[in-house]
Amino acid sequence: MWSIADRYFLAEIVKVFGAIMATLLLVVASMLFLRTLEQVNLGNLQAEVVLRFLGLQLLRDAANLLAPAAFLAVLMALGRMARDSELIAFTAGGLSPLQVFRAVLLFALPVALLTAWFSLVLKPYAASQIQLIEAQKDTEATRISGLQAGRFYQQSDGAVTFYAGGLDSSGRFTNVFVHDRSSDPPRVVLAESGLYRESARGGEQAVVLEEGRRFDGAAGSHAYSLVDFARLTYFVPGGDPAQQERWRRAATPTAVLLGSEDIRDRAEVQHRLAAALGVVSLGLLAVPLTQLSPRRRSAGRLFLAFLAYFAFFNGQRLAEEWMTTGVTPAWLGLLWYQAVIIAVVFVALLPGSYAVRRTMRRLRGR
């Protein structure tokens, strides 16, 4: 049964957690909304799918917000109670440190289950739906991407030159010129109109030209060819296969990844589980990082909490990289970093604990 102390701790932590989550969601939603409006302004996104696109992005990112919000909520709630000497009063009334951990776990476990649902089920679904919208943008929308008429643009270290003489009301370039010195033989393309597209998934860029002529051959040489075309898609740099593979894996359902023997698929599953497990791990870290005595300075422990928080999420990326590249054995996985960080924090706080100080006083007394 939940005690009065459990209910009090839960009420304090949940209030702070709700305020932090509302603030984080508001900030993230504002940033995503501005980016979405920019895409609408550039013609990359239809206005009728703006709210759906924004909702899917929030659904995708929600799992990444729950763990830090839970950590800050426990840290701030217990810190406020310690500053107001409430923890001292609870201790004097017979509340043990284990009961504080128990109250924190009662909060962290439901949040961890919610995070697991978001990360394992909703996040890949949202990623797949976002990719469908991105694919529709790539095939139906014209992306100007800052290109202006009357200026020369070069890509691939100057090997490809693009120029458009004008821009009509529909967003299409007119009097287009493309010079590609990277092809063999070199190529010059002239077209009456064209548009520019860029894939947000793989970085693939293309110029779609209409009603033009292509010249293949080196200047001053008689070996050349002329081709008239009604429509020509001219790909500038190819897409990044590694980036496309990461997009594919992020949108794959967890049940499919569980049946895969690929080390990267296994790393993706553990990456999704890390968010849920991180809620419990960070909650346990917040308890010893809370200042229990109002006479002791809290700056050192707050700095340690800051380091632990950033080490936690940077350690996840490092462990994932080591797992996929074979630096660590596959059976170890990537969740080991959480246990290492918890152990390091507890060892760093051990010299200042009451049990160690009492033992040292007894040893000095002898």
The tens digit of pLDDT for each residue in 45-84 reads: 666 778 888 888 898 888 889 988 999 899 888 888 888 8
Query: Tell me, what amino acid is at 342?
Result: I
Q: Which of the residue ranges 87-91, 110-114, 142-146 would you say has the lowest mean pLDDT?
A: 142-146
Q: Which residue has the higher pLDDT, 119 or 141?
A: 119
When pLDDT is averaged across residues 106-121 and rounded to a whole number, the result is 93
* Predicted local confidence at residue 113, as pLDDT: 94
* Predicted local confidence at residue 356, as pLDDT: 57
Predicted confidence (pLDDT) per residue in 313-344, tens digit: 888 888 888 988 888 888 888 888 888 888 88
Give Dmax (Cα) for the chain.
102
Is residue 97 reached through a cis peptide bond, with omega within 30 degrees of 0 on the bond before it? no
pLDDT interval class at 27 (50, 70, 90): very high
Count the neighbouring beta carbons within 10 Å of the beta carbon of residue 278.
25
Predicted confidence (pLDDT) at residue 42 exceeds the cutoff of 80:
no
Predicted confidence (pLDDT) at residue 121 exceeds the cutoff of 50:
yes
pTM summary value: 0.67
When pLDDT is averaged across residues 111-128 and rounded to a whole number, the result is 91
Predicted confidence (pLDDT) at residue 22 exceeds the cutoff of 90:
yes
* Predicted local confidence at residue 237, as pLDDT: 52
pLDDT interval class at 174 (50, 70, 90): confident
When pLDDT is averaged across residues 91-95 and rounded to a whole number, the result is 79
Calculate ∠ Cα 319-340-254, nearest 5°: 45
Q: Which of the residue ranges 11-15, 181-185, 238-242 would you say has the lowest mean pLDDT?
A: 238-242
* E strand or H helix that includes residue 141: none
Count the neighbouring beta carbons within 10 Å of the beta carbon of residue 62.
21
% pLDDT > 70, the chain: 79
Averaging pLDDT over each range in 33-47, 98-112, 149-163, 247-261, which range is the top one? 98-112
Are 209 and 232 in contact, with CB atoms under 8 Å apart? yes
Predicted confidence (pLDDT) at residue 175 exceeds the cutoff of 80:
yes
pLDDT interval class at 108 (50, 70, 90): very high
Calculate ∠ Cα 145-149-152, nearest 5°: 85
pLDDT interval class at 20 (50, 70, 90): very high
* Predicted local confidence at residue 240, as pLDDT: 54
Cα 30 to chain centroid distance, Å, stands at: 16
Of the candidates 103, 93, 87, 90, the residue with the CA atom closest to the CA atom of residue 298: 87
Rounded to whole angstroms, the Cα distance separating 166 from 173 reads 6
pLDDT interval class at 13 (50, 70, 90): very high
